[in-house]
Structure 1
Amino acid sequence: MEKNILLKIQQGDKNAFAKLYDEYSESALRTAMAITKDKMYAADAVQETFIRVYKNIGEFDINRTFEPWFYRILINECNRILSRNSKTIPMDDFIESGLPGCDEDRYRFEEYESLYKAIEKLDDINRIPIVLKYLKGFSEGEIAQILEINLNTVKSRLFKGRQKLRRYIELLEGGSEHHG
């Protein structure tokens, strides 16, 4: 079905593009929030991503998987916005912001509060691959494609990110500064 929608979009079907937007916008917003930690930056990144997708869909090979291409554009937009603006807002503001779908997230956030706080502490180099793998469900190969980096680099960043997460969670839950 995805190929069919993409083909229709390439042929100028605005309704097909609206379907694509409906399918990806909420997930894209959550991903952008996890990266930018700012509601407005995330919304801007998502809007720019869909504009770029619309403008460049004609060049997209519909025999390839759409999602990695889409998320590469989204992450590039998030990074562009972050480099342009250095302001950061804590993830708590994201969870309490009342974004669509956050009602069920509020329960999940309380359940996984330490994890979200730990993810927030990670540097972009580790946070983005962690978000893509564990919150978005991309494979390591897809992450390499999205970030345009070597597969071994992705594996290394995930490994180091998991180690840092483990330490942060131990600190948050144990309250001890003496963990490793």
Structure 2
Amino acid sequence: MEQHHWVEQVRSGDQFAFRQFYEAYANGAIRIASAITRNRELAKDAVQETFIRVFRQIDSYNPTLPFDPWFYRILTNECLRLINKETSLVKVEPSNLDDNPALVEKSFDQLSDLYDIIQSLDDLHRIPLILKYIKGFSEKEIADILQLNQNTLKSRLFKARKHLKMLLDPHGEEDVT
């Protein structure tokens, strides 16, 4: 079902269309929310709240714009809201990756060290990396999702990649840029 078609059906109150939308987006949303929150249960709460907000706010969606950035902005904001609400977060341990491979994309299942390193980054750098390299959003879309200036986002991605490179190869040669 094409996005603009089911968006209109959801707007008209069609519960079957909303169920189709949920089934199309739920698994990907859980993976991204898990990566952002570092907590599977918190991620589930964020996804549940996201779908409620999408249902309530579907009339504010502009169908001339891509849907995914709008949806993932709501999801990201909900994840950040719940993170701020929590007093302590449980970090995903590497052993949990083997027990629950749905937490992250397949490439992270195979590279748990890389996953751990990304999870060790601060939110300012970790979340843009997740949105770009796991979800595949463009820099402009990520800037819109995170409500940042595109140059600020580029700077954060650059610093995050530089930090990742240093963590992955601590004895490597320093870049002179």
**Deviation string, structure 1 residues 134-159 (Cα, Å, up to 9, x no partner):** 00000000001100110001100000
1:95 equivalent in structure 2: 97
Amino acid at match of 1:167: M
RMSD, aligned CA: 2.1
* TM-score, L = length of structure 1: 0.87
SS at match of 1:68: helix
Counterpart in the other structure of 1:47: 48
Report how far residue 96 of structure 1 moved.
4.1
Identity of aligned residues (%): 41
- How far apart are the structure 1 equivalents of 2:42 and 2:58? 23
- Scaled by the length of structure 2, the TM-score of the pair is 0.89
Q: How does 1:7-156 map to 2 (within 5 A)?
A: 7-91=8-92, 92=94, 95-98=97-100, 101=102, 105=106, 108-109=107-108, 111-156=110-155
Residue type at the aligned position of 1:47: Q
- The answer to whether the 8 Å contact 2:31/2:105 transfers is no
Pairs aligned (count): 172
| Structure-1 separation of matches of 2:8 and 2:157 | 35
Provide closer, same or farther for how the CA distance between residues 132 and 62 of structure 1 changes in structure 2, counting only shifts above 3 A. Answer: same
Contact 2:37 2:83 in 1 (8 A): yes
User: In structure 1, what is the Cα distance between the partners aligned to 2:96 and 2:67?
Assistant: 27
